[in-house]
Structure 1
Amino acid sequence: MSIHPPSPARVVLLCGPSGSGKSLVAARSGLPVLRLDDFYKEADDPTLPLVRGSSDIDWDHPDSWDADVAVEAIVRLCATGSTPVPVYDIALSARTGEEPLDIDGAPLFIAEGIFAAEIVERCRELGVLADALCLTRGPVTTFRRRFLRDLKEGRKSVSFLLRRGWRLMRAERSIVSRQISLGAHACDRDEALGRLTTAAHRQAGQRTAA
């Protein structure tokens, strides 16, 4: 009897506006998680975009994030089950090191972050995508949750957080629309958890059949 190596793992991309509860859903799923926020560019990167009419760096623009390195990490996790990932300090806007991530043989893992939708098509073309979800909670709820979280964690100055929060609250509907247009399915927390469970069972079944 021949023994076949396990089939490659697959990824669920979990996006949504900042403060929509992505990290909470990822944690509750019980699946391994790759934090896409760790792939932000550093503050001295000359390619960082600015908020229009301001000197603030636009950390909510996809150009503030290194999509190529993130996709490389996802593909490596799917193929081998482990990858080095950067350790990013949001308060410092800098990478402070690197650490290994191992999904321990899991057939499915989550890659979560506000820019996850930007790589839906690339992951689909590479054959590693299981699903893509966009969490929605409403602009007022996400504003409050985002501000309290960022204030507690000391991510940026209070004035910066208020400017960013007001801008994102006004733009939330367009942010969600863009993520849907890039291939993510809009859903609330309960539907997201249900789809994650379904995807995990499906992937595990495919691995068993292989």
Structure 2
Amino acid sequence: MWIATDCPDNSAHRDQVTAQRDRDVTHAAKCTRGVVRRPSDASDWSPVSSHPPIPTRVVLLCGPSGSGKSLLAAHSGLPVLRLDDFYKEGTDPTLPTVPLSSDIDWDHPASWDADAAVAAIGELCRTGRTGVPVYDISLSARTGEETVDIGRTPLFLAEGIFAAELVDRCRELGVLADALCLSRGPLTTFRRRFLRDLREGRKSVPFLLRRGWRLMRLERSVIARQTALGAHACDRDEAMGRLAAAAAGRCATSRTAA
């Protein structure tokens, strides 16, 4: 049997072919560098979008105590962060008092931990969950901690009488969808607040009456402060409409837009 053997000419030709093949491979590797190829057996593969995911945002819901914030939040169908759980404890020496009285002024922003509330909102927007204190208003104390988990929901509510204090800070974080201030009128709010606080045994009756009378006289100034901070004053129906707009990704006003 005749067996072909290499000769000098054949060897040179093979070296040229090999060199050209190496150049072709190198060129192809450079052209495809950074390109993710679909594995032939990856049935669950999906292309990577060039657009960032829609961030989770928050609607801040404020208003005088008794204006119906919690009820609106429950009817909204959105996850809710209760900002009242960030009250300071009754033993905190920094708690403010009502002028000419020994009563603690629980309606003053200094009775509340704004930094912790902002941190919780930021973590919810980033990760979908956060730990929050459990606060017992009747005891003026934190009684534990729980986890708020909103999953991948793109919108949630943070409600409480001090929510407007966070408008600028949430806007700076880029997470503000809207800020709303509920208003029902001083007499209606007084009645709702007193009956609720009495039913829940939040404080003593004399304290509730003193607080209720004071807040009724101050309600218009409370709303004026909250709107000056960037919240939009509205009734329940308008608030629901703006929540629907925020959930659809629309912004009701440029002032409260993130």
Provide TM-score, normalisation by structure 1.
Answer: 0.95
What does residue 198 of structure 1 align with?
Answer: 245
Deviations 1:3-27 (A, max 9, x none): 5774320000000000000001111
What does residue 90 of structure 2 align with?
Answer: 43
- CA drift of 1:202 comes to 0.9
- What letter matches 1:152 in structure 2? R
CA distance in 2 between partners of 1:58 and 1:152 (Å): 21
What does residue 78 of structure 1 align with?
Answer: 125
Determine if the alignment matches structure 1 residue 135 to structure 2 residue 135. no
| Bigger-Rg structure (1/2) | 2
CA distance in 1 between partners of 2:68 and 2:226 (Å): 15
Q: Tell me, what secondary structure is at the counterpart of 1:202?
A: coil
CA distance in 1 between partners of 2:184 and 2:62 (Å): 12
Deviations 1:64-93 (A, max 9, x none): 000000000000000100000100000000
Over 4 Å off, 4+ runs:
none
What does residue 189 of structure 1 align with?
Answer: 236
Percent identity of equivalent pairs: 78
- What letter matches 1:88 in structure 2? Y
What does residue 93 of structure 1 align with?
Answer: 140
Deviations 1:170-210 (A, max 9, x none): 0000000000000000000000011001100117xxxxxxx
Provide TM-score, normalisation by structure 2.
Answer: 0.77
Alignment equivalent of 1:168, drawn from 204, 215, 237: 215
Unaligned runs of 5+ in 2: 1-46, 251-258
Alignment equivalent of 1:18, drawn from 48, 62, 65: 65
Deviations 1:147-177 (A, max 9, x none): 0000000000000000000000000000000
- What letter matches 2:118 in structure 1? V
Unaligned runs of 5+ in 1: 204-210
Determine if the alignment matches structure 1 residue 28 to structure 2 residue 75. yes
What does residue 107 of structure 1 align with?
Answer: 154
What does residue 224 of structure 2 align with?
Answer: 177
Deviations 1:118-143 (A, max 9, x none): 11001001111000000000000000
- What letter matches 2:77 in structure 1? G
